[in-house]
């Protein structure tokens, strides 16, 4: 399967503040939209996990603002799965302008697999094929 490239969206007026700059609270939404779109692209839609009885909460979220994003702009968000463990996975994101020449924002998030009682679940144990698929889409770790 071809690697997921990017998620594209236009910035809406209601996502901005008085200066027509995207309010910081919307970045988490952009990243979530991207993550959901990427998982769907790879045949692992969020609904599938929920139908299996699992939820995938955000454990942490880090972002660094590089350049303001404004109303009417089109942005492209490039995600990558950095690491997958049986219980957790880690994403990195770069938000670019429409031409993908200016970096607007960089971010990272981590997530875990929980059952309906909010207990951690080893995806490797409960769904080994799905775990293997997840791992196959992660970026290979670089040697230092």
For 25-83, how does the pLDDT look when each residue is reduced to its tens digit (9 = 90+)? 999 999 999 999 999 999 999 999 999 999 999 999 999 999 999 999 999 999 999 99
**Whether the predicted pLDDT of 12 surpasses 80:** yes
- Going by the DSSP 8-state scheme, the letter that residue 31 receives in this structure is H
pLDDT at 141 over 70: no
| Average pLDDT score over the chain | 94
What is the per-residue pLDDT for 11? 97
Q: Provide Rg for the chain, Cα atoms.
A: 16
> What angle is formed at CA 128 by the lines to CA 127 and CA 131, rounded to 5 degrees?
90
What share of the chain has pLDDT > 90, as a percent? 93
CA distances from 97 to 23, 77, 101, 125 (A): 16, 9, 7, 40
Domains of the chain: 7-136 (3.10.129.10)
pLDDT of res. 140: 73
Query: For the segment 108-119, what is each residue's pLDDT rounded down to a tens digit?
Result: 999 999 999 999
Confidence check: pLDDT of 85 > 80: yes
């Amino acid at each position: 399967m071809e690697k997921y490239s990017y998620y594209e969206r236009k910035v809406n007026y209601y996502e901005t503040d008085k200066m027509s700059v995207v309010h910081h609270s919307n970045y988490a939404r952009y990243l979530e939209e991207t993550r959901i779109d990427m998982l769907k692209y790879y045949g692992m839609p969020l609904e599938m996990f929920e139908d299996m009885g699992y939820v995938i909460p955000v454990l942490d979220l880090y972002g660094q603002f590089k350049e303001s994003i404004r109303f009417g702009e089109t942005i492209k968000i490039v995600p990558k799965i950095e690491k997958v463990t049986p219980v957790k996975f880690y994403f990195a994101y770069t938000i670019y302008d429409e031409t993908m020449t200016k970096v607007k924002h960089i971010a990272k998030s981590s997530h875990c697999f929980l059952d309906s009682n909010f207990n951690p679940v080893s995806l490797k144990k409960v769904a080994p094929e799905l775990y293997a698929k997840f791992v196959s889409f992660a970026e290979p770790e670089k040697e230092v």
